[in-house]
A and B are shown apart, each in its own frame.
Chain A
Amino acid sequence: MRQALEGSQAIARAVALCRPQVVAAYPITPQTHIVENIAKLVADAQFQCEFVSVESEFSAASVVLGAACAGSRAYTASASQGIMLMSEVLYNIAGLRVPLVLTCANRAVSAPINIWNDQQDSMAVRDAGWLQLYCADNQEAVDTTIQAFRIAERCELPVMVCVDGFTLTHTLEPLELPSQEAVDAFLPPYAFSRALDPRAPLSLGTLVGPDYFTESRYLHHQAVLAAENEIIAAARDWSSISGRTSAPLIRIDGSDEATVGILTLGSVFGTLLDARDHYGGAPVKILHLRAFRPFPVEALRAATKGLSDLIVLERAISPGADGIVAAEVRSALMDADAPPRVHNFAAGLGGRDVPLTIYPRLLEAIGKPQPRMIPIDLDRDQWPAAADAQ
């Protein structure tokens, strides 16, 4: 049924449709309405689960880890400082190869303290060994949340569904919420091959010395790479049930005649599409990198074939090393036949609005030499005077 829902509410409803038995979350630093909506659904008897309102994100991640290992589908959500506080457990969950789904309502990381949207939080844990799927709009957030449970459980890997804070989580959008029957047809009951059971005791989280550690890490790496197939399969199967097509790895919009492409992750994709409609001009291919982990090297090479210039527009930076996504894009395209020149810009850090005017500025900027990444929306009037003296 098509309805107007706030992103957080839509995600909460999508989570409920997946029937997790345990939901744990900490409400602040900062939280979205996702878990509040889940708590309300539980209170109104519209959704049955053990809702554990914990004392920190560190414990939220730990509770869902314990629940998943004890044989229940489990879910949590967080963002920003919360992801930072969880990060030790996030690595642990991934290393233990435990299926879990977490929504990261992407926000900036302090300092300076700032509660608004960028993607520094999920980028900071990109090496934790989780799958990371970014959503361009709230419909994609709903569909990806449902797919994420199946991907996680089939791959025995945790999945982080990344949704731009405020831009998506606090925005009403018309969207289709699937029926319970549709989700049940897609997502079988939770089954974890290593669930703890007194009748068949297992030891999880054992001490692994140098003799076995490399192999363990390598197998984890291989599993994350192999998850690409399950991401593709989940998108395909969900599309046949929901009737909506969704690109599993990279969403591509634009003709093959385009020689310039812009690649981004998340909600800026929609802004760029609108801007292209608004400004017109030469054809430009706009790409939304939905799967960041595993990094879809082949799909990226195919999607950028024929481009002379590729602009990577990102919402996080690695101080001292430019953009995180651009570095990976460059590395992936290096061995491609006639790879495009890669230009790297940040935009929208800490919730700075990304307006349509960014589009012509980006296209203009690629004509000038730009050895290092800069925020395209850098405003020198906001610069502290002391910084000019440096």
Chain B
Amino acid sequence: MLRTQQPRFQGLDPGHRACQGCGQALAARLTLEAAGPDILLANATGCLEVFTTAWPESAWRVPYLHSVFANAAAVAAGMEAALKAQGKDVKVIALAGDGGTFDIGFQALSGMLERGHDVLFVCYDNEAYMNTGVQRSGSTPHAASTTTSPAGVARMGKRHLKKDILAIIAAHHIPYAATASVAYPADLRKKVRRALQVAGPSFLQVHSPCPLGWGHGSELSIEIARLAVQTGLFPLIELERGALVGAMPIRQIHPVTDYLKPQSRFRHLFAGDPRAREELAHLQALADHNIEAYGLRGEMPDGLDSEGADTVRRGGLRSA
């Protein structure tokens, strides 16, 4: 039987309570498809834990432990230490949102990476504290409106930049770190497999739209996630020991407004305010910078490019 026709391992069952179009639920499912059953999961507090484990039900078909918000990386490190002591060949994956990665969970994450635990840390990056009502996080993009960085007469949304978490992770010189997007599932699965193959810590930042927090239709999640990549705002890259080893080229670069306009968190940028025009120029400059810094410009338009589906540069035309 062809591999593409085999049923994939389903570690996260349907029937959980995620919203329609939830990027995080999709990202978790894809991660587990690639990881297979021989894993232990450590999950930080957040939407993922809330919508999958409401007692007495659980959507997980793999061993799962949720402790508190800030400690997923440390709990995973403890699991890994125990498995090592027991001589068991079971992989450990930590799952956290951007709050549990960029902000409150960062110290434990940095410590886990520094100590070299054989753990894959997956950050589902939906760019704010969605579980508690869309408050800004260190990952919220510049100028996005959230409930704690609202746009108003005196403010154009979040005043600060999105933290460049991957650069900080890269500075730990871990064997493998990458960004991925739910809009590119084959790429995401491939990166999970790659991360689990390497010995030592690995990190994956998965851009995961939140229709509720970003303010777009739930049917648009994949399209929006793809535009984040195609504008250069969320580059898909791979790092080994901190060095850039791969980047997904953008064959048709979109202006950032294509990505921003369908999302109500950026609505204030299209109200004709001169400050808004300035912020738009700023965001376009960030995207342009990414395109140059990571060499994202594809050579030419590609008629065979299915805009992400299961064909990306590293896999060529093979399906994953």
Contacts and interface: CB of A to CB of B under 8 A. Distances in A.
Interface residues of B, number: 46
Contacts of A52: 77-78, 81, 115
Nearest to B108: A59
Interface of A: 21-22, 24, 49-50, 52-56, 58-59, 62-72, 74, 88-89, 92, 96, 196-198, 201-209, 212
Contacts, number: 162
A203 B64 contact: yes
8 contacts: A22-B85, A55-B108, A65-B67, A66-B42, A70-B83, A198-B38, A202-B63, A204-B65
B37 interface: yes
Nearest to B94: A66
Interface string B64-87: 111110110111111111111110
Interface in B47-66: 49-50, 53-56, 58, 60-66
A202 to B, nearest CB: 6
B68 A92 contact: yes
Contacts of B112: 59
A207 B53 contact: yes
B110 interface: yes
Given A198-B38, A207-B50, A54 B111 contact: yes
Given A55-B107, A56-B111, A198-B38, 5 more contacts: A22-B78, A66-B78, A69-B75, A70-B79, A207-B50
Contact of B75 (A56, A66, A207): A66
B65 A62 contact: no
Nearest to B91: A198
Nearest to B40: A196
Contacts of B43: 205
Given A21-B85, A196-B63, A207 B55 contact: yes
Interface in B105-158: 107-108, 110-112, 114-115
A202 B61 CA distance: 8
Contact of A66 (B62, B64, B79, B85): B79
B90 interface: yes
A70 B82 contact: yes
B309 interface: no
A207 B64 CA distance: 12
B39 interface: yes
A23 to B, nearest CB: 9
With most chain B CB atoms within 10 A of its CB, the pick from A50, A59, A202, A204 is: A59
B68 A59 contact: no
A22 B64 contact: no
| Residue with the greatest number of chain B CB neighbours at <10 A, chosen from A198, A201, A203 | A203
Contact of A71 (B55, B56, B62, B82): B82
Contacts of B66: 203-206
Nearest to B11: A201
A9 B110 CA distance: 31
Residue from A54, A92, A96, A197 having most chain B Cβ neighbours under 10 A? A54
A62 B74 contact: yes
A96 B70 CA distance: 17
B67 A92 contact: yes
